[in-house]
Amino acid sequence: DTEVTQTPKHLVMGMTNKKSLKCEQHMGHRAMYWYKQKAKKPPELMFVYSYEKLSINESVPSRFSPECPNSSLLNLHLHALQPEDSALYLCASSQRGLAGAGELFFGEGSRLTVL
């Protein structure tokens, strides 16, 4: 099994809603990532968890709150978002954490629309 599974695939929310994006991998990978991708732009890093500890937060607004309950799961909690936060949110994992070269395994993404 080499999959990274993201749910939901599509999410529409109002600016006052609270919702969560979920990501799961069962490859035993030790680093998990959230990337944000707007149309015709490259993926931009938001957060990195390495060995279940938050290692990198790329100055993301506090209305995005990551959580890593265990080594297989990664959540992104959303609250009071703005319309400009509408994007494709990609989860990824890598085998060895941040150190050392390694490919990223991406999920299919969660398409978020904020009204």
Partner 1 sequence: SQKIEQNSEALNIQEGKTATLTCNYTNYSPAYLQWYRQDPGRGPVFLLLIRENEKEKRKERLKVTFDTTLKQSLFHITASQPADSATYLCALPLTGNTPLVFGKGTRLSVIA
Residues that bind partner 1 (CB under 8 A): 4, 33, 41-45, 48, 56, 88, 90, 92, 98-99, 101, 103-109, 111
**Nearer Cβ to partner 1 (9/18):** 9
Count CB atoms within 10 A of the CB of residue 109.
Answer: 19
Which is closer to partner 1, CB of 13 or CB of 104? 104
Q: In angstroms, what is the minimal distance from the CB of 17 to partner 1?
A: 23
Residue number, 14 or 58, with CB nearest to partner 1: 58
Strands in 73-79's sheet, in edge-to-edge order, are: 4-7, 18-25, 73-79, 64-70
Smaller CB separation from partner 1, 18 or 38: 38
Give the position of tokens 């949110």: 89
Least spacing, CB of residue 93 vs partner 1, in Å: 11
Shortest distance, position 28 Cβ to partner 1, whole Å: 17
Distance, C-alpha 29 to centroid of its chain: 15
Q: Which residues contact 39 (CB under 8 A, 6 or more apart)?
A: none
* Cα dihedral: 23, 68, 90, 112 (round 10): 80
Q: How far is the CB of 19 from partner 1 (least distance, A)?
A: 20
Residues, the chain, total? 115
